[in-house]
């Protein structure tokens, strides 16, 4: 116990106009948080102020981050402000680290009123990189739009924040620390916890760890390669897959969290997970996986680098969902995908007679369906997949789901995927990212594009490229009515759907920290031609997408920054 009560101060401040949270919280360059006076303090106070005082007083909250640069000083500020704002207990990951899925797990386990996650996910770290703050609510999932809008409004009018500047927490020592504050009847408690254990316990109750251990370290075990990309999931991989399930220690690489992710872009993508991609080429490993900075996304590769697209990733899990013991017990309530994700999952849903929901991008939409008991498995094209065990996408859960399928079927990754295509046909899918585009140019282009495609004359138009002809069947700006609570979300992406089911989607991404990212998604289904090259198969639709949008002309870009 600290000697003498600690002083609580009210500090005058001035608002900033740019603290609107995106689908993944507030993300900015590190220097914005470092150089703009009280920038972090303003946003944290706005989060606390968005919670009604009676709910906040004496409550429990969870705090953790992916370990990127500025994580530790941000945790210290949050602790000081939580104490001053009446929070009774903070649960914080050891050294301030905790993966996003684990934070969701801990919020739910301890019935906390919410959690503050310090991450910019797959964005670069270090002093010149990105930093982010995200608020998750009591269900363990990202705050809904009503909450983030309230936080934004508070941030625009904030005049002061409360802080206890003399409070110093020891993030290195596990256990409870208590602090007396002036004018507070009960002491403020900080509990530093093992960030892995609660989450590992949850996974033990979902998967058959004995069967997975046999697959990974038994007599006829497979060889795997795991790349944590110097993100927060490294200790989870070591503890769960190596120590508990028996993978050799040298099968897990880049497992020490680093403030700059070792100079890497912590994105589980063929372009960025180069250590994994290179090590998989020669056929030494049967299974490979890479994880992003905060542990909520993952990519898997089969032998010789066979790539599983995110859309196939979730569709294959859906088709083999009872390989996971958890779903044998709970049954399956529904499947869901984000609107830009390919329709591969829809085909499984139809065949299994399980309800399929198409939502806007953002995990909060999935969480709402889960809370209503309508959804069990979901995924999105940006390498995010998850179940209803928590309210976040979950990279390690997704990898264990795939390993459970391999354990049950005793087939290779490539065999599993190819048999899926033989059964259902194949959705060829790609995404083009045009990053750091001028915001005004991007918005103007999207506005003009919406006017063009929503004109009645656009429907039935035919576009010919080489020997392919595509006729427009439907075009709109995607609007979603939540079946759980009837809330309506408008302007969620421009869609062009052709008579053969092919789709072109245009969106402005909300997960960057600088400029705009224009994303074009192309999805086309083939029943018979299942072994062709994706970019070759989609080239005609890509030509049409660029012609309709005039993207290169409107943005000054000659090509995409990234192709998925």
Catalytic (active-site) positions: 121
- Paired tokens of 321: 């969902």
Angstrom distance (rounded) from CA 441 to CA 431: 20
Residue 145 main-chain phi, psi, to 5 deg: -60, -35
Angstrom distance (rounded) from CA 202 to CA 185: 35
Angstrom distance (rounded) from CA 538 to CA 523: 8
What SS3 state is found at 482?
coil
Nearest by Cα to 234 from 214, 207, 257, 209? 257
Residue with tokens 């569709």: 315
Radius of gyration of the chain (CA): 24
Buried b (16+ CB within 10 A) or exposed e, 452-465: ebeeeeebeeebee
Angstrom distance (rounded) from CA 322 to CA 311: 19
What SS3 state is found at 347?
helix
What SS3 state is found at 14?
coil
Nearest by Cα to 159 from 340, 256, 38? 38
- Helices vs strands, H then E, count in the chain: 19, 26
DSSP string, 30-51: HHHHHHSTTHHHHHHHHHHHTS
- Paired tokens of 351: 């065949």
Angstrom distance (rounded) from CA 32 to CA 175: 33
* Nearby residues of 54 by Cβ (< 8 Å), 6 or more positions away: none
CB of 360 closer than 8 Å to CB of 390 = no
Residue 301 main-chain phi, psi, to 5 deg: -130, 145
What SS3 state is found at 410?
coil
Burial of 201 (0-12, 13-18, 19+ CB in 10 A): exposed
- Paired tokens of 50: 């968005």
Angstrom distance (rounded) from CA 431 to CA 519: 7
């Amino acid at each position: 116990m600290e000697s003498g009560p600690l002083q609580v101060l009210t500090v005058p401040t001035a608002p900033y106009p740019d603290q609107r949270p995106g689908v993944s919280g507030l993300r900015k360059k590190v220097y914005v948080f470092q150089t703009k006076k009280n920038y972090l303090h303003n946003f944290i106070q706005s989060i606390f102020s968005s919670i009604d005082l009676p709910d906040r007083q004496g409550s429990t909250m969870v705090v953790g981050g992916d370990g990127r640069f500025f994580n530790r000083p941000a945790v210290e500020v949050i602790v000081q402000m939580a104490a001053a704002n009446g929070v009774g207990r903070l649960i914080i990951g050891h050294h301030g680290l905790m993966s996003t899925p684990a934070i969701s797990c801990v919020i739910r386990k301890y019935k906390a009123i919410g959690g503050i996650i310090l991450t910019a996910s797959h964005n670069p770290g270090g002093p010149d990189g990105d930093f982010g703050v995200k608020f998750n609510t009591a269900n363990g999932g990202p705050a809904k739009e009503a909450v983030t809008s309230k936080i934004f409004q508070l941030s625009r009018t904030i005049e002061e924040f409360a802080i206890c500047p003399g409070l110093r927490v020891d993030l290195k020592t596990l256990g409870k620390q208590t602090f007396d504050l002036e004018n507070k009847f009960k002491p403020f408690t900080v509990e530093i916890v093992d960030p892995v254990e609660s989450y590992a316990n949850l996974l033990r109750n979902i998967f058959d760890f004995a069967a997975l251990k046999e697959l990974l370290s038994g007599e006829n075990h497979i060889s795997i390669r795991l790349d944590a990309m110097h993100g927060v999931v490294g200790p989870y991989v070591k503890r769960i897959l190596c120590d508990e399930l028996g993978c050799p220690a040298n099968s897990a690489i880049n497992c020490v969290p680093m403030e700059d992710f070792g100079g890497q872009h912590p994105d589980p993508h063929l372009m960025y997970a180069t250590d994994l991609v290179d090590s998989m080429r020669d056929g030494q490993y049967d299974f490979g996986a890479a994880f992003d900075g905060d542990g909520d996304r993952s990519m898997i590769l089969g032998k010789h680098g066979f790539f599983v697209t995110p859309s196939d990733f979730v569709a294959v899990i859906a088709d083999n969902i009872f390989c996971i013991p958890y779903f044998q017990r709970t049954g399956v309530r529904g499947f869901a995908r984000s609107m830009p994700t390919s329709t591969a999952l829809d085909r499984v849903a139809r065949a299994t007679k399980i309800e399929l929901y198409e939502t806007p991008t953002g995990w909060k939409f999935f969480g709402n369906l889960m809370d209503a008991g309508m959804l069990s498995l979901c995924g999105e094209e940006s390498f995010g997949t998850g179940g209803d065990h928590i309210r976040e996408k979950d990279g390690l859960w997704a990898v264990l789901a795939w390993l459970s399928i391999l354990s049950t079927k005793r087939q290779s990754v490539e065999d599993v995927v190819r048999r899926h295509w033989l059964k259902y046909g194949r959705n060829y899918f790609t995404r083009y990212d045009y990053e750091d585009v001028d915001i005004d140019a991007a918005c103007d282009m999207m506005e003009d594009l919406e006017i063009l495609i929503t004109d009645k004359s656009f429907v039935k138009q035919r576009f010919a490229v080489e020997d392919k002809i595509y006729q427009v069947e439907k075009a709109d700006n995607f609007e979603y009515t939540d079946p759980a609570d009837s809330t309506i979300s408008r302007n969620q992406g421009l869609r062009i759907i052709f008579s053969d089911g092919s789709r072109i989607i245009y969106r402005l991404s909300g997960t960057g920290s600088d400029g705009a990212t224009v994303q074009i998604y192309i999805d086309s289904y083939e029943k018979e031609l299942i072994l062709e090259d994706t970019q070759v198969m989609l080239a005609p639709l890509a030509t049409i997408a660029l012609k309709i949008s005039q993207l290169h002309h409107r943005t000054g870009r000659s090509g995409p920054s990234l192709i998925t």
